C-alpha cells in the first residue's frame, strides 16, 4: 500500500493508510483548510421525512 500523500510504501501500520505521522497530519490539515471537500446533496422535505422515519425505526430495534 502506498501513502496517499507522499506515495512512499506504508510499512508502519500505526498511521495506516499514511506512512508516517507527518503525512497523517498533512492530510488532516488539508481537511481543516478545506482543500478536500465532500459534495453536499440537497434533500427535499419528503426525503428528510423518510430518513427521519427510518432513523427512528432503527433506534427502536
Q: Other CB atoms closer than 10 Å to residue 19's CB: what's the count?
A: 21
Between the two ends of the chain, the Cα-to-Cα distance in Å is 39
Q: How confident is the model at residue 4, as a pLDDT? A: 97
pLDDT tens-digit readout, 19-61: 999 999 999 999 999 999 888 889 999 999 999 999 999 998 7
In this structure, the dihedral spanned by the alpha carbons of residues 47, 51, 57 and 61, taken in order and rounded to 10 degrees, is: 150
pLDDT confidence of residue 41:
87
CATH class held by domain 13-60? alpha beta
For residue 37, what is its C-alpha cell?
471537500
Give this prediction's pTM: 0.62
Q: For the chain, what are the domain ranges? A: 13-60
The string of DSSP letters for 25-48 reads HHHHHHHHTTSS--------HHHH
Amino acid at each position: 500500500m502506498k501513502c496517499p500523500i507522499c506515495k512512499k510504501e506504508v510499512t508502519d501500520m500505526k498511521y495506516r493508510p499514511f506512512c508516517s505521522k507527518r503525512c497523517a497530519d498533512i492530510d488532516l490539515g488539508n481537511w481543516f483548510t478545506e482543500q478536500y471537500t465532500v459534495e453536499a446533496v440537497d434533500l427535499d422535505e419528503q426525503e428528510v421525512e423518510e430518513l427521519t422515519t427510518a432513523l427512528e425505526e432503527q433506534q427502536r430495534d
